[in-house]
């Protein structure tokens, strides 16, 4: 990447960080409201695919306010979760939740970029990232970093919104995403631009097959994808052999 492209990537990352920082106080409320609560079930299905039977060391990227980390510790007793996010107000908003669940010794937050992870090779049993990969500017670098810090046999689980394949569902989804969601999100959060960004980011994300190929090129094997709720969300899974 040349200097100009690098500057553009940094500028876009700063804009995304500022935007999510602005909506951090209402982030959890709007997640439940705008997804009708089904996002909770999606996260549970993702976490269910983590290994079981031993204490795990998990890296949760784009951790936000800690929803995934809390589910990991709840379903995998003894797990240690390292939550990383570029948006410090999100992490700050998640601290009371961690304390409420008594998980201060199990979940640790850190400000970091997915494109440059501050961890040694082969450290984690699993990596999760829910609704965050769309917002990573240099996704190829992030995927390579994820593969680097996974143990041999470790798994990466990437959950995000998708464009439904069914034309009727896609049409309804488009109406909701472009008309209803930005209005409700903007009214509750006071930041209309952040919720206009969401549908644009989903539509700009690579198609399923393309993203599977990106994961394979980054070093993952046995990559699969599973659609949830009529294709509104997709879970990608890959292994580090």
pLDDT band at 25 (very low <50, low <70, confident <90, very high): confident
Is 173 contained in some domain? Answer: no
Asked, for residue 112, whether it belongs to a domain, the answer is yes
In a domain, 34, yes or no: yes
In a domain, 195, yes or no: no
Per-residue model confidence (pLDDT) at position 31? 82
Query: Does position 236 have pLDDT exceeding 90, yes or no?
Result: yes
Q: How far apart are CA 64 and CA 234, in angstroms?
A: 19
The predicted model scores a pTM of 0.93
Residue 188 lies in a domain: no
Q: With respect to residue 109, please indicate whether it lies within any of the assigned structural domains.
A: yes
What is the per-residue pLDDT for 28? Answer: 86
The verdict on residue 135 lying in a domain is yes
What percent of the chain has pLDDT above 90? Answer: 71
* 56 contacts: CB under 8 Å, gap ≥ 6: 50, 72, 76, 78, 79, 80, 125, 126
Range of the domain at 60: 3-163+205-239
CATH number at residue 124: 3.40.50.150
Q: Which pLDDT band holds residue 1 (cuts at 50, 70, 90)?
A: low
Mean of all residue pLDDT scores within the chain = 93
Whether 54 is covered by a domain: the verdict is yes
The tokens for 81 are 């979760």
Q: Enter the tokens of residue 148.
A: 């680097």
**pLDDT over 70 at 54, yes or no:** yes
Going by pLDDT thresholds of 50, 70 and 90, the confidence category of residue 188 is confident
Strand order in the sheet with 221-228: 107-111, 80-85, 57-61, 124-130, 150-161, 233-239, 221-228
Give the count of domains, the chain.
1
């Amino acid at each position: 990447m040349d200097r100009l492209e690098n500057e553009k990537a940094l500028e876009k990352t700063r804009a995304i960080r500022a935007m999510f920082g602005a909506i951090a106080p209402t982030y959890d409320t709007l997640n439940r409201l705008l997804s009708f609560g089904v996002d909770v079930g999606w996260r549970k299905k993702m976490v269910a695919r983590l290994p079981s039977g031993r204490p795990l060391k998990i890296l949760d990227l784009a951790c936000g306010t800690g929803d995934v980390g809390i589910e990991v510790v709840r379903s995998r007793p003894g797990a240690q979760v390292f939550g990383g996010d570029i948006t410090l107000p999100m992490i700050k908003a998640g601290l009371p939740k961690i304390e409420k669940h008594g998980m201060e010794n199990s979940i640790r937050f850190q400000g970091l970029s997915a494109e440059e992870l501050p961890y040694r090779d082969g450290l984690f049993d699993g990596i999760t990232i829910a609704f965050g990969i769309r917002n990573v500017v240099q996704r190829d670098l992030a995927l390579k970093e994820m593969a680097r810090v996974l143990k041999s046999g470790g798994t990466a689980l990437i959950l995000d919104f998708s464009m439904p394949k069914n034309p009727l569902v896609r049409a309804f989804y488009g109406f909701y995403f472009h008309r209803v969601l930005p209005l409700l999100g903007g009214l509750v959060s006071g930041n209309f631009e952040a919720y206009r960004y969401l549908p644009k980011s989903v539509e700009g994300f690579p198609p399923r097959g393309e993203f599977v190929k990106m994961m394979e090129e980054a070093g993952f094997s046995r990559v699969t994808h599973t659609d949830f709720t009529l294709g509104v969300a997709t879970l990608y899974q890959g292994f580090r052999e």
